[in-house]
Amino acid sequence: TQLLEQSPQFLSIQEGENLTVYCNSSSVFSSLQWYRQEPGEGPVLLVTVVTGGEVKKLKRLTFQFGDARKDSSLHITAAQPGDTGLYLCAGESGWGKLQFGAGTQVVVTP
Amino acid sequence: GAGVSQTPSNKVTEKGKYVELRCDPISGHTALYWYRQSLGQGPEFLIYFQGTGAADDSGLPNDRFFAVRPEGSVSTLKIQRTERGDSAVYLCASSSDTGELFFGEGSRLTVL
């Protein structure tokens, strides 16, 4: 059972468009992490958010943690084909013990 | 290499057989984790080692699954009497004091 719900499950956009992926939970987590996973590879950490209301930027990616630390969003500006991948959010419920959402598959076409 | 190494990358076995999956963590990382990722799902926590001991094995689904890390480095995940439902990608990750997890490419297990 996934305690973290991600939406949408799949997103296909054209290069240059913007997109937002959501991660929602009924539980409070001490921190929330976003990963990107490509086929045949393990997830790679993009960012960790810890404080409610926190906003972090990583080039064209903007991550936000909800005030109540139960939800988060990932916004990509001017998406590029290299942004294609499975985006996973994960809440930390113990040292290194992560609860992952099912992921959002993002496809950016040239 | 510098990353987490997992072998085999692919394993096909028959129902009822025994399987071992190996993980070689990043040198110097004291923490090691096993996760399982089924098709269309995010990774699911199985077990966490700190050094040689299993600090948290609450994610192991049943007693057919067992993992060891005898010298605090390489770990082996062992699955007895495999079932078709065990088919998944088994991911290993390691971390240092920072807590950031570095994942390997996974071992894809298919049980026929």
* CATH number of the domain located at residue range(s) B5-97 in this protein: 2.60.40.10
Task: Report the C-alpha gap between B8 and A39 in whole angstroms.
Answer: 17
Closest residue in A to B55 (Cα–Cα): A95
Q: How sure is the predictor about B78, in pLDDT bands with cuts at 50, 70 and 90?
A: very high
- Closest-CA distance, A109 to chain B, in angstroms, reads 21
Mean pLDDT of chain A: 93
Q: Is A102 on the interface with B (CB under 8 A)?
A: yes
pLDDT tens per residue, range A12-60: 999 999 999 999 998 888 889 999 999 999 999 999 999 999 999 999 9
Cβ of B43 and A95 within 8 Å?
no
Give the tokens for residue A33: 């992490």
> What confidence tens digit (pLDDT) does each residue in B9-66 have?
999 999 999 999 999 999 999 999 999 999 999 999 999 999 999 989 999 999 999 9
CA–CA distance, B26 with B6 (Å, rounded to integer): 11
What distance separates the 2 farthest-apart alpha carbons in chain A? 40
Nearest Cα to A33, choosing from A57, A22, A49, A17? A49
Look up residue A8 and give its amino acid.
P
**pLDDT for A96 beyond 80:** no
Domain extent at residue A44: 4-109
- Give the number of domains in chain A: 1
CATH number of A64's domain: 2.60.40.10
Tell me the CA end-to-end span of chain A in Å, nearest whole number.
36
CA nearest A96 in B: which residue?
Answer: B99
| Amino acid symbol at A13 | I
Hunting for tokens 């929602």 — which residue is that?
Answer: A24
Query: Mean pLDDT throughout A73-99?
Result: 92
